[in-house]
Amino acid sequence: MRLRPFLAGLHAVIPEPPRPAERRLVQVVSVDLVGFTSLVEDLDAEDVALLQEHYFALVAAAGGQVEKYIGDAVLATFGLPVLRPDDAWAAVRAGLAVVESLAGLESRLGLTAGTVRARVGVHTGEVVVTWAADGT
């Protein structure tokens, strides 16, 4: 019968279903620069990008993943996609690293000490994680 080879070929065309949603305990870090709008009015566009990339890199170096950002506001997660036993500590360390590193960044940008300040929040809680079709 000719249908059998056709049906066997369909298996290769139909994608596997995505991973099912699962509950996870994650840490969420939020970073917001104080007075960002007025601050960037006086900065060059490359300096603004340097400022943002600076704390994005600190979050990533601590094991976090930047999930969303709008201007200076960043939302990063620890515990996604891989859970680590020290995710909570890593999230706190990332937040502290951002705050402590701003003085060095100010001098690099030629700004007066205390010009760049950040608000950082860390929250731990259970979330429902959904996965994309490719497993990410």
pLDDT per position as a tens digit, 79-125: 988 889 999 999 999 999 999 998 888 888 888 888 889 999 999 99
What pTM was estimated for this model as a whole?
0.77
Residue with tokens 């009015």: 41
Strands across the sheet with 22-33, in order? 65-70, 73-78, 22-33, 118-129
Is 60 exceeded by the pLDDT of residue 78? Answer: yes
Q: What is the mean pLDDT of the chain?
A: 85
Q: Are 109 and 49 in contact (CB under 8 A)?
A: no
* pLDDT tens profile 35-49: 888 888 888 889 888
